[in-house]
Amino acid sequence: MKDPQIGAVQRELSVVVPVFNEEAGLDALLARTIPVCEAEFGANFEIVLVDDGSTDRSWAIIAGHADASPNIVGVKLSRNYGHQLALTAGLKLARGDYVFVLDADLQDPPELLPQMLAKAREGYDVVYGQRIARAGETVFKRATANLFYRLLSAVVDVSIPRDTGDFRLMTHRVVAHFNAMPERFRFVRGMVGWLGFKQIAVEYERDPRFAGETHYPVRKMLRFAIDAITSFSTIPLRFASLLGMGFGVAGLLALVWVGVSWLSGGVVLGWTSLAALILILGSMQLMMLGIFGEYLGRMYMEAKQRPLYLVDEVYKQPDMAAGASAETEGLQRALSS
């Protein structure tokens, strides 16, 4: 197999982990992940830890593990770009025949790798984890997540499985096709769904976060939902037309009612209701302008063609005694291209 960015595939497995302020859980993450990888692939694997502009000691811990093990690759981005772009950076670097995506909070168990590998070896290109239980999450979080997945299924044209995240195992060819997709506003699980190929679910119970606090408060969850819907659907734009037609029909019916009342000698009352209708119509118009603006803003940002992210540093041991600087420079170029 050939990697269009890096060259020959050098690992059987790449584990990609975006990291943002996870100093309390990184040691536990690697203590659980490394034995699972060794049991399946011996020493022929790599764990790519992408530091997404952490402000704690995450990068120092990553560098320490990279010093101690040739299987650890640390990638430090120039600032915080967000989970989806940090994951994209890790996937761009991955050199494995299989690529295993994990979050650093250990809510998704790395011990599920053998079961996912078994499915991949049956011929599936994508094996994704599907949650049947979500421990440690509030009722509000579970309810909003359930609403999000149902709404997403209703409005997008791509098959995106419900109750799934980015926790998945992919073949190298899927990752290569993913890396060729240039869009800036990324919804990774939707992009992988759009690629197609043979995909299958592995059900599991999601654990509570190992340490620290969630990095997805309500504001980020809402932004993520908007990214997902606008990246894969034009239904919000169609909704504007349908809403306009609906209010137009309602206006004509109201006009008929006013005419009939006037002809029959009745007095048409309702200034309060009229004012309320004007406010409703005005807010609907502003909402539709906001939807149009969201799509237009995305086109404007895409037209700039800026890099998705910038890499500050790649930290790893060389695969051989010589060539460390050349290899690191090659990885830097691959990530920045």
The percentage of the chain sitting over the pLDDT mark of 70, rounded to a whole number, equals 63
Give per-residue pLDDT as tens, 12-49. Answer: 899 999 999 888 889 999 999 999 999 988 888 999 99
Q: What is the pLDDT of residues 293-307, one digit of tens each?
A: 777 767 766 667 777
pLDDT at 95 over 80: yes
**Would you kindly state where each structural domain of the chain is located, as residue ranges?**
2-232+307-336, 235-304
Q: Which of 130-134, 189-193, 262-266, 306-310 has the lowest mean pLDDT?
A: 262-266
pLDDT band for position 321 (cuts 50, 70, 90): very low
Q: What is the mean pLDDT of the chain?
A: 77
Instruction: Kindly report the CATH class assigned to 2-232+307-336.
Output: alpha beta
Q: Give me the pLDDT at residue 124, please.
A: 92
Greater pLDDT, 114 or 250: 114
| Residue of 332 and 50 predicted with greater confidence | 50
pLDDT at 101: 93
Predicted confidence (pLDDT) at residue 251 exceeds the cutoff of 60: yes
What lies within 8 Å, CB to CB, of 87 at 6+ separation is 16, 18, 50, 101, 166, 188
Residues 234/235/236/240 CA torsion (nearest 10 deg): 110
Mean pLDDT of 267-292: 67
- Name the band, by pLDDT with cuts 50, 70 and 90, for residue 186: confident
- Cβ within 8 Å of residue 288, ≥6 positions away: 240, 243, 244
Q: Which of 137-151, 174-188, 201-215, 284-298 has the highest average model confidence (pLDDT)?
A: 174-188
The average pLDDT across 135-149 equals 68
Does this model's pTM top 0.75? My answer is: no
Structure tokens belonging to residue 68: 């101690």
